[in-house]
């Protein structure tokens, strides 16, 4: 139609009226944005954003006036304006759809929803807000400010984050945590790489609470291609944690290796080894305690159909030689989402578990 335009701007599909670009800003009226995974050429996209006016500032932000967010033909919500940051070292993870609530589930925390948003502030910074709500665990936000430096990222914020300990999900509250994370840099012109990170903040996990400080450095290298679809990578580093709760210090040199390969068109296999040489003191928090100082993980996957595959992964305690857990997973490609159904056979206790999760491809 006259005045209408449509097409791809990877990873998005855009459709609308009066498309223009002046070399600095792109603009489209009465537009629609969806993704290559959500797009259906004969049917309504799985999800989309419609807006009266869409302006794109390459490398900075996208601004949509009066946007409406849809799943199929169901309107989730509308806003007066929506600004999405597309700046910084995001490694291709920018998504205009991330604010949309999407389902999450695990047996410990229950069924829930999650989403996130980034709002540009100044030339090199952005405010961020990541939310998770669970029927059992409740509301788990991450909110703060990050600043993109030439050599890394600085951030300060508040968060409730989880980890798994003894087959259970544990949550820690991080209050006013200041972080510095460097980019990964090659050492000279060699294939070897180095990166670092440090943080300070107030941690709270039940009755265990206090100031936490840490720093970490790690060296690795570009993956070694042993053969077609066969890669090997080694890594090693040092981490040191200071816990104000009991004034303890954990010193932890670590190293490991990861190997992956394809065995024909339907079969993949992997092996990884991780060793953490912790000092006498472990963490007083379950959240970052080291359960298995010497851990071997191996397994494989088999592609059943174009959309289905199964996998088995074994985690072994190399200090005792015993199998810790075996994970059996069924994966289904659901067009714009991936579904993972996992059964965990816990050999160290009787806490066997079923878990299911849905992951949006464009989130």
CB atoms within 10 A of CB 283: 22
Residue 92 confidence (pLDDT): 47
| C-alpha to C-alpha distance for 85 and 77, rounded to whole angstroms | 20
Residue 244 confidence (pLDDT): 96
pTM above 0.85, yes or no: no
302-323 per-position pLDDT tens digit: 999 999 999 999 999 999 999 9
CB atoms within 10 A of CB 290: 16
pLDDT > 90 in the chain, percent: 49
Say if residue 50 is exposed, middle or buried (CB neighbours under 10 Å; 0-12, 13-18, 19+). Answer: buried
38-69 per-position pLDDT tens digit: 665 556 777 788 889 888 887 777 888 988 88
Predicted confidence band of residue 224 (pLDDT cuts 50, 70, 90): very high
pLDDT > 70 in the chain, percent: 87
Which residue has tokens 């104000």?
244
Residues 6+ away with beta carbon under 8 Å from 245: 203, 208, 209, 210, 284, 285
């Amino acid at each position: 139609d006259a005045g209408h335009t449509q097409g791809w701007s990877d990873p998005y599909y855009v459709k609308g009226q009066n498309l223009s670009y002046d070399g600095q800003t792109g603009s489209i009226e009465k537009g629609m944005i969806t993704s290559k995974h959500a797009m259906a050429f004969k049917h309504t996209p799985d999800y989309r954003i419609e807006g009266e006016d869409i302006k794109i500032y390459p490398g900075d932000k996208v601004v949509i006036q009066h946007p409406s967010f849809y799943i199929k033909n169901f309107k989730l919500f509308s806003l007066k304006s929506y600004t999405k940051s597309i700046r910084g070292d995001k490694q291709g993870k920018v998504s205009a759809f991330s604010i949309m609530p999407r389902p999450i589930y695990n047996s410990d925390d229950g069924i829930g929803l999650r989403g996130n948003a980034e709002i540009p502030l100044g030339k090199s910074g952005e405010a961020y807000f990541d939310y998770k709500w669970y029927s059992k665990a409740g509301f788990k936000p991450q909110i703060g400010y990050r600043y993109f430096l030439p050599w890394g990222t600085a951030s300060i914020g508040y968060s409730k984050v989880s980890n798994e300990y003894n087959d259970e999900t544990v949550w820690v509250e991080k209050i006013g945590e200041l972080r510095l994370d460097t980019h990964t840099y090659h050492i000279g012109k060699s294939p070897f790489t180095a990166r670092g990170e440090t943080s300070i903040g107030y941690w709270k996990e039940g009755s265990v609470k206090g100031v936490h400080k840490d720093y970490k450095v790690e060296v690795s290298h570009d993956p070694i291609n042993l053969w077609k679809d066969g890669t090997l990578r080694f890594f090693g580093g040092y981490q040191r944690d200071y816990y104000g709760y009991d004034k303890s210090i954990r010193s932890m040199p670590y190293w490991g290796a990861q190997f992956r390969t394809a065995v024909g068109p339907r079969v993949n296999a992997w092996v990884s080894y991780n060793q953490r040489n912790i000092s006498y003191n472990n963490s007083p928090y379950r959240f970052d305690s080291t359960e298995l100082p010497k851990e071997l993980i191996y397994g494989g996957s088999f592609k059943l159909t174009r959309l289905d595959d199964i996998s088995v992964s074994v985690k072994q305690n190399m200090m005792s030689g015993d199998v810790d857990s075996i994970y059996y997973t069924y994966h289904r490609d659901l067009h714009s989402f991936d579904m993972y159904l996992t059964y965990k056979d816990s050999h160290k206790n009787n806490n066997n578990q079923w878990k299911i999760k849905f992951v949006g491809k464009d989130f």
